[in-house]
Amino acid sequence: MPLKPRYRSKRIFFVLACSLSVAVLAGAVLFDTKKTVRIDTQHYSLSLEIVADNLAHPWSIAFLPDGEVLVTERPGRLRRLVDDELLSEPVTGLPDVTASGQGGLLDLALHPEFADNRLLYFSYSDQTSAGMTTRVARARYESGQLQEVEPIFEALPRSSGGRHFAGRMVFDPDGYLYISVGDRGEMERAQNPSDHAGSIIRLNDDGSVPENNPFVDQSQVRDEIFTWGNRNPQGLTVHPQTGEVWSNEHGPRGGDEINLIRSGLNYGWPEVTHGINYTGFSITPHTELPGMESPLLHWTPSIAPSGIVFYTGSDFPLWQGQIFSGALRDKLISRVSVKETDEGYLLQEEERFLQEFGQRIRDIRQGPDGYLWLLTDENPGQIVRIKPAQ
């Protein structure tokens, strides 16, 4: 049975542009492969090691148990990093990927028993005469080849446009697969439960629908939907102690969010938001409403959050148990403290750093070496490893 979240937060924390921050320096800095650069933060001096570069908009990174690392490039290539060397030949066997707008080859997730079954999951945008959508497929991965490729989910209905595919994936400790689906730039779809757009999907590992999904057999709601009212969740992660799934989500102009993903909840978009439209006009007068879940934290103004991870390593003990979120628009990492009380989770942004690096952070993960790894959403993009400075 899935783990039941133990807490429900009713608190909203405003994160203003004047939040605690290391100094913001002007100008992007592009470093050569294997060069190490020192950056100071509130508690630690960091050594940023550029492991590989010359990637085209890298989007996701996955660490295999044998030490190999896989990285997606949004234009539709899956790359291999072996012994910290980026191989020139991409992985073969990918299906056709439609790289248009924000779409392309997106996230990677390893089956919980990957070491035995070699099952790799990947999300991507796909186009037919009916339009574009987000798809998820699984395949067996062996030595640079994908075999037995099998699509297991596609978001319906399809539509035109190249925005808000989401596509993040994570397995929880019970083996359920969670997939984020953006609203595709059509906000009203997120409040239509007969539409996959603007939701978090939960599936069994073969793509079938779990019997205990919240809307199973409700004729007006798609069985795969686990939550709805989500705008464009760009990060998914699992709490290291509770097994709960957490997300971060893009708002419009303001109102980026961190949410605890709980079965059957409506996260409100676009009926509630702390953001405004890109035109400057109001989307809604409401920042909260009965029956709609409030975020644990929101960033206003927007930072455009991307990958998200709980840090559990030993090299930076003051950071243990905290959330690290990359940011695209503001080109930084946001460090967020997480405290549990009888009333729920209390989140507070503690620091922003890496601004002097000057690059869009697309993904952030903790590797098996205990270090934080980053992907920069640039062309050329880079794979970066964060270590303690010597």
The answer to whether 159 and 153 are in contact (CB under 8 A) is no
Exactly one of 43, 57, 111, 164 is catalytic; which is it?
164
Number of residues that this document lists for the chain = 390
Examine the residue annotation and report whether 164 is marked as an active-site residue of this protein: yes
100 Cβ neighbours under 8 A, 6+ residues apart: 125, 127, 132, 162
Give the strand pairing for 119-128 and 105-110: antiparallel
Q: In what order do the strands lie in the sheet with 36-40?
A: 36-40, 45-55, 381-388, 372-376, 361-366
The answer to whether 131 and 184 are in contact (CB under 8 A) is no
Q: How far apart are CA 159 and CA 368, in angstroms?
A: 39
Q: How far apart are CA 313 and CA 232, in angstroms?
A: 29
Local structure of residue 55 (DSSP, 8 states): E
Give the strand pairing for 245-249 and 233-238: antiparallel
Mind telling me the catalytic residues?
164
